[in-house]
Amino acid sequence: EAQVTQNPRYLITVTGKKLTVTCSQNMNHEYMSWYRQDPGLGLRQIYYSMNVEVTDKGDVPEGYKVSRKEKRNFPLILESPSPNQTSLYFCASRSPRVDTGELFFGEGSRLTVL
């Protein structure tokens, strides 16, 4: 089954404790991205990756890091989480088909930073 898998789905942590949210896709997509979703602000892009070892900032990259060492994986790293990073996070990959830019989303990771 084609899917994007994120872990953990739910996490409560404390300020300053480094954490990593993993994302893996099994569709051989080159493009992957991370979003955060907050009430009233919608989905905002954090980082994206066009291919292995190619990453770039989205609209809200501050406080986040990413890496893309393998095509299937695109982890999101919070080196020193703060309460304003409490949010719902989605990883997505994109079909390479030229007739669609469809994003395939993971199930989401709800992060609470105390």
Q: Which residues bind other proteins (CB under 8 A)?
A: 31, 33, 35, 40-45, 48, 50, 56, 58-59, 90, 100-103, 105-108
Q: Which is nearer to other proteins, 9 or 18 (CB)?
A: 9
3-state DSSP assignment of residue 44: strand
Cβ-proximal residues to 78 (8 Å cutoff; 6+ apart), any chain: 18, 19, 20, 21, 63, 64, 65, 85, 111
Q: Which is nearer to other proteins, 46 or 78 (CB)?
A: 46
Tally Cβ neighbours within 10 Å of residue 55. Answer: 18
Q: How far is the CB of 17 from other proteins (least distance, A)?
A: 26
Q: How far is the CB of 85 from other proteins (least distance, A)?
A: 19
